[in-house]
Structure 1
Amino acid sequence: MEHIALYRAWRPQSFQDMVGQQHIIQTLQNAIREERISHAYLFSGPRGTGKTSAAKIFAKAINCEHGPAIEPCNECETCKRITSGNIMDVLEIDAASNRGVEEIRDLREKVKYAPTEVRRKVYIIDEVHMLTTEAFNALLKTLEEPPAHVVFILATTEPHRLPATIISRCQRFDFRRVSLIEQTDRLALIAGEEQIEADRDALEYIARLSDGGMRDAVSILDQVSAFTDGKVTYTQVLQMTGGIASEQFAELASALLHGDIAKVLQMVESFMQEGKSAEKCMENLLYYFRDVLMIKMIPQAGDLTERMLDPEIFRETASAFTKEQLFAMIDTLNHYQTEMKYAAQPQMLFEVALLKLGSIPTSGANGSSTADVASSSSSHAPTDASEIRQLKQQLAQLEQKLDKALKSGIAASGEASDRNQTGSSGRRTPTARVSSAAKIPSQIQSYVSNRNHSDFTKVSGSWGKILQRVKEEKVTIHAWFVNCEPVSIHEDAVLVAFKHDMHRETIEKSVNKQIVESVLEEVLGSSHRLVTMMQKDWLEAIEGAHEDPVEALELEHEGENAGEPLVDEAIQLFGESLVVVKE
């Protein structure tokens, strides 16, 4: 038989072929048996767990020539054509490449017509979370009043990105990760049928690498079997996947425990010479210490370890470390793994991380206090959250000092400034607030009139999601951006008001502003510009909405009588901010 990819050959063709989703299969089969088929289903869960396969099997079951039946026969012409994707009434759509409103409108037009070849039209929309906001709105109309002959099956790995209005109109099924035992048994079955000689520990390691995704597990087995010419061993799987044996990490942990830095660096160099990447080494080492922690804290942790096939061997290693040391090591590795994503020299960061691990006190197992180890953990492995809190405290202190300095500077230079700005005619020159006015958008009147517009209501309602996406893109930008609030919208521009000028100037930097605008486009569904101003200027603009706010700010305290003695005395008595001069 001509060799084809194992996953294509072993992709589930009936419900009984599905692995690890019995609760979902039983529910769908009961619905078919009792003829209570819904008009829309939502299949959500991790990648490679059978969402799209289940959708196609369901389409075959309800349209089988010998059915509807709880299992498709896979022998009739209809089942064969649905399997090969050659039937017009069962359509699989990739929402990642067909995410626009026009594609969904075209779908809505075709939905109206009755099926020509089968009982029911079935639309399988994969990665449905990639649809735009407008496309979701168009799809919602069809889901609200669907024709009786149509079934929608939406599949996604990120259900939280779907609007609640879409989710509420679907029957939701959450696919779970396939368990280690179920994956290993299925891999053993596939290997036997394909005449691949595979060791049990090799199949277990492949199952652990796949992170609960059956598709990934079968793909790795196919790759390794092709490389090894039909004989799959644990060592060969490690070589093919770039993994490192737990025994080697145990040796590395022993060197760290005894402070043998030379051996640690020598082992790192040997890893690199073997073609291992620093990122993969960091990931595997993080898994290793996580497993050691599980063995340390839970006596029977065999099923909880991620990459250790025989946890009993490493109990001695676990007993050599305290829980606090292991927590500190995991924190340190996690910190440097995050930094490594943006590093030009990842190997150097990996070496630095190991040196940090070696600097964590190792005498805890022989009597050092928990407080000492915890202190070491916090000093050597600061988390992102603690760094952000510290930065915010420092910023708050700087802003307070800056406010005091500005106030004292204005008070001290107020009279001199008044004298310098008064001409021979006794009038003040219009420079008192030019800097503030320069920070105000040119179309401020339009923004003021649009502050209650329906488009702005949409922006303000999505603001929490926008802040979350900015935080996911770059947490430092979020720390500055969280201190502003949206106040209005005009055409394609979103106006936000800042309490502190320092925050506003930081966001106005082109790199930061570009990230925020890309998030606005993603969340709002269309391109938007970011326009900024100060909150106090916005409040003044609202209060003076009947006149030009920019002109009001520039010409405040100016006029024909600005230099008269009564005006000057009033300013001295009540303060410049409380005096308004009118004709």
Structure 2
Amino acid sequence: MAHIALYRSWRPQRFQEIVGQQHITQTLQNALREGRVTHAYLFSGPRGTGKTSAAKVLSKAVNCERGPAEEPCNECDACIRITSGSVMDVIEIDAASNRGVEEIRDIRDKVKYAPTEVRYKVYIIDEVHMLTTEAFNALLKTLEEPPAHVMFILATTEPHRLPATIISRCQRFDFRRISLQDQVDRLSLISKQEGIEAAADALEYIARLSDGGMRDAVSLLDQIISFTGNRISYQDVLDVSGGVASEQFAKLAASVARQEIGDVLEQIDVFMQDGKSAEKLLENLIYCYRDILMLKLLPNAARMTDRLLNVEAFGDVLDLYDKERIFRYIDILNHYQAEMKYSVQPQTLFEVAMMKLCSLDLPEPGASSARSNVQAGTSAGAGEVARLELKVNALEQKIEQLLQSGVKLAGGDIGNASAEAKNQPRSTVRASAPSTLRTAKLDEYVLAKDHPDVQKILGQWSKTLQRVKETKITVHAWFTDGELVSATDDAVLVAFKNTIHRETTEKALNKQVIEQVLQEVYGKPLKLVTVMQKDWKDAASDSKVQAPQEVLQLEPEGGEASGHGQDWINEAISLFGEDLVVIKDE
């Protein structure tokens, strides 16, 4: 005789065999005992929690030859035949493949006929949320007022997809995820009855992997038995399921916390060599960090962890993390898990995710502890922070005094900019401080902008840009936003339209490339000074910056003095004023 899967051979045949749903089974048993069975039920909940099994048990209980009874006898002809599926009056319909209006109309036409073999005609419609709108409309009236001999049992994993008109016509029962202990007890019973010797931690890990679904747990147990035979160990479960021992995750989490990228990649390579799945590893790692977070927030939450069987192995790891870091890590891993669904290289994506975790610039756990100590009023932490605050305040006062005195720093005079800087937010001042552009004096560049030497430099500027492009094209992409506006003997001034382009050009490595090209093109070292175009235009139009005034000198025709010299002087004074006339004796 062919082997029957464990989840089929161990399907509950009585209400008391349904695991973890006492709130439902007790209600149904009371209704059967008191004769308050209704015509329509809606069973909703996650997969593998007993919805269809409860529907079959209920159909046997109402049709049992010794009933209706709180429990079916499973011995009479009706119970045996309903269990085997050979009773014509108990109809199981898969709504996923029979979802059209025609199938529901067929049910509506047949419900008026009395059952031929048992007491009630029972329709069990599984995955009822898959019915079309038209099918639901066809079912409505029959579901509301069916004949006395008809019972409907609707089962679904997505009750929110059912119309409210359908739900309101049924008694709704919500099946819950089965608790870990209930699953372990059931798996232990099945193992003993099947003659299997299973380790307690192996059964517990199987239960954790099933995510609250009893059918998934029994199916996994059946698969492991096929692999191992009559003895099941914790390592056997890991090998079959593709899982990783919690101790290995503890080692991986510790390496990530210490940002040891090489060690992390080596561990990932070992996992891959052992045939582990990158998708499964990432999923389990998220569970691992979830469990670490639970233990950080609730020290006595060992029973609430999903993947950590040996909590003691994570004792040292907990000290390496604070809750802010764990929250950040879980967000990043969730992002990569979503991306991995569409990736053809899941292992590479997993490695990138781990390298990103190791590269994050996050505060050490001690910093968070210091903050919490200050908030809690602990003397040691509070005293240290207070001393640091005094030092920072003293340094800020010294800097402000230097700014007010107009101290000249490398790159220009910041004295005139101090008042403006004090009115800016601190982050803005920090961002502006390294720039030589806002601090540079523009007077000398304004005076030199029309000098012939500047025109010579302008004539070779296209050659300079081309040479920068040949040297490093990425620098050229930013540098072309600038325009050469002036130059001196040892520097060129370039005005930028875009702040980002200017700040990128000012970076040390980029600036070094440009200044090297300037020396090659012009044959002498030239510094690069940059400015925003708006600032340059304001400086160039400033009336205080003017070229030196020329002195008007009157000379007699022929270059020789004449007897009318005094007349020329008087005429000049009358025309231009005494202040503008300079008299020289030749």
| TM-score normalised to structure 2 length | 0.62
Does 1 or 2 have the higher relative contact order (CA < 8 Å, sep 6+)?
1
Partner of 1:131: 131
Partner of 1:97: 97
Partner of 1:180: 180
Partner of 2:340: 340
Aligned-partner Cα distance in 1 for 2:307–2:295 = 12
Aligned-partner Cα distance in 2 for 1:188–1:292 = 28
Structure 1: gaps (5+ residues)? 372-583
Counterparts in 2 of 1:104 and 1:328: CA distance versus 1, 3 Å: same
Q: Give the CA deviation at 1:258.
A: 2.1
- Specify the code of the residue in structure 2 equivalent to 1:190: I
- Cα-to-partner distance string for 1:62-120 (whole Å, 9 max, x where unaligned): 00011111100000110011001000000000000000000000011111101111111
Q: Give the CA deviation at 1:359.
A: 1.5
2:271 corresponds to 1:271: yes
The 5 A counterparts of 1:106-185 are 106-185=106-185
Partner of 2:302: 302
Aligned-partner Cα distance in 2 for 1:282–1:124 = 39
- Runs (4 or more) in structure 1 with deviation over 4 Å come to 368-371
Q: Give the CA deviation at 1:361.
A: 3.4
Aligned-partner Cα distance in 1 for 2:259–2:18 = 50
- Specify the code of the residue in structure 2 equivalent to 1:81: R
Aligned-partner Cα distance in 1 for 2:250–2:345 = 25
Q: Give the CA deviation at 1:328.
A: 0.7
Quote the RMSD (CA, aligned, Å): 1.4
Partner of 2:455: none
**SS at structure 2 position matched to 1:268:** helix
Partner of 1:356: 356
Aligned-partner Cα distance in 2 for 1:370–1:133 = 60
Q: Give the CA deviation at 1:143.
A: 1.0
- Specify the code of the residue in structure 2 equivalent to 1:306: D
The 5 A counterparts of 1:82-93 are 82-93=82-93
Partner of 2:204: 204
Aligned-partner Cα distance in 1 for 2:312–2:270 = 27
Aligned-partner Cα distance in 2 for 1:95–1:118 = 24
Aligned-partner Cα distance in 1 for 2:255–2:29 = 56
Q: Give the CA deviation at 1:273.
A: 1.4
Counterparts in 2 of 1:207 and 1:369: CA distance versus 1, 3 Å: closer
Residues 246 and 310, structure 2, Cα contact 8 Å, conserved in 1: no
Aligned-partner Cα distance in 2 for 1:276–1:356 = 21
Residues 247 and 313, structure 2, Cα contact 8 Å, conserved in 1: no
Partner of 1:216: 216
Q: Give the CA deviation at 1:184.
A: 0.3
Partner of 2:253: 253
Aligned-partner Cα distance in 2 for 1:77–1:330 = 56
Q: Give the CA deviation at 1:366.
A: 2.6
**SS at structure 1 position matched to 2:319:** helix
Residues 324 and 370, structure 1, Cα contact 8 Å, conserved in 2: no
Q: Give the CA deviation at 1:2.
A: 6.7
Aligned-partner Cα distance in 2 for 1:67–1:335 = 55
Q: Give the CA deviation at 1:310.
A: 2.1
Residues 60 and 72, structure 2, Cα contact 8 Å, conserved in 1: yes
Partner of 1:36: 36
Aligned-partner Cα distance in 1 for 2:369–2:249 = 26
- Specify the code of the residue in structure 1 equivalent to 2:316: E
Partner of 1:78: 78
Counterparts in 2 of 1:121 and 1:368: CA distance versus 1, 3 Å: closer
Partner of 2:47: 47
Aligned-partner Cα distance in 1 for 2:33–2:325 = 57
- Specify the code of the residue in structure 2 equivalent to 1:345: Q
Aligned-partner Cα distance in 2 for 1:244–1:271 = 8
Q: Give the CA deviation at 1:272.
A: 1.3
**SS at structure 1 position matched to 2:70:** coil
- Specify the code of the residue in structure 2 equivalent to 1:25: T
The 5 A counterparts of 1:175-574 are 175-361=175-361, 363-367=363-367
Residues 119 and 149, structure 2, Cα contact 8 Å, conserved in 1: yes
- Specify the code of the residue in structure 1 equivalent to 2:353: A
Counterparts in 2 of 1:23 and 1:369: CA distance versus 1, 3 Å: closer
- Cα-to-partner distance string for 1:420-445 (whole Å, 9 max, x where unaligned): xxxxxxxxxxxxxxxxxxxxxxxxxx
Residues 140 and 166, structure 1, Cα contact 8 Å, conserved in 2: yes
**SS at structure 1 position matched to 2:72:** coil
Aligned-partner Cα distance in 2 for 1:337–1:289 = 14
Partner of 1:451: none
Q: Give the CA deviation at 1:345.
A: 1.0
Partner of 2:5: 5
Residues 15 and 25, structure 2, Cα contact 8 Å, conserved in 1: yes
**SS at structure 2 position matched to 1:303:** helix
- Cα-to-partner distance string for 1:432-462 (whole Å, 9 max, x where unaligned): xxxxxxxxxxxxxxxxxxxxxxxxxxxxxxx
Residues 45 and 175, structure 1, Cα contact 8 Å, conserved in 2: yes
